[in-house]
Amino acid sequence: MGEMIRLKSRFDGFELGAYHAPPNDARRGGLLLIQEIFGVTEHIKELCDGFAEDGYEVIAPAFYDRLERGFTADYSPESIQKGVQYSTATPWDQVAGDAQAAIDALQAPVFVTGYCWGGAATWLAACRCEGVAAASCFYGRRISELKDETPRAPTILHFGKTDASIPPERIEEIRERHPDLPIYLYEAGHGFVSDRRSDYDADSARLARLRTLAHFSRNGGGKGEV
């Protein structure tokens, strides 16, 4: 459905690739969708296409293009290690500049969502980027690094109760620092939205997606927006 485009980063002018999926229905708004550590994979493209079917114009930047253009990985231990390496080698200021480029390329209202590493990057975008109408963060382990920053747009968070990589105390740290932000917990582990992973949970994925769509709708994502 979509195609690869280029974006010029607000951080350093670097041109990075991005998957662009136009809306299939009356436009509800723009959506910046942020990858997991595995890059802009077929799974990420499918998520983009799914939101496009709901009326969103979606852009998913390839945030690791400076390190390896077009990087994608599977769920093998070697790939996970490389994805983690790339994520830690990508500074948050750079992520914010790349995210802003995608937001600038979309017509308002613009929403943000992301998964895993992208869940933390979504939090970052809600805190630092201009033009974000609302954000929905999925199991962002590294949000705890950014918990002292405050989202400037309405933001919701999703975590799995059995996610070994995000212990309950980390979630509580976020809750204590931001008591007014909705935090939803699911009977699932890490990566429960991805049907490629052993922790995939269809019911949790469906409920979290419905909550995300409702959150966007409440904050400007009405049918037929231009």
In a domain, 69, yes or no: yes
Residue 58 pairs in a beta bridge with 21, 31
Q: Across residues 4-31, what is the average pLDDT?
A: 96
Q: Record the tokens describing residue 219, joined without a space.
A: 């904050």
- 150-207 per-position pLDDT tens digit: 999 999 999 999 999 999 999 999 999 999 999 999 999 999 999 999 899 999 999 9
In a domain, 188, yes or no: yes
Which residues does 179 contact at the CB level (< 8 Å), separation at least 6?
A: none
In a domain, 226, yes or no: no
- 80-138 per-position pLDDT tens digit: 999 999 999 999 999 999 999 999 999 999 999 999 999 999 999 999 999 999 999 99
Mean pLDDT of the chain: 96
- 33-46 per-position pLDDT tens digit: 999 999 999 999 99
Domain extent at residue 212: 3-218
The CATH number of residue 12's host domain is 3.40.50.1820
- Domain tally, the chain: 1
Place of tokens 């253009």: 69
In a domain, 225, yes or no: no
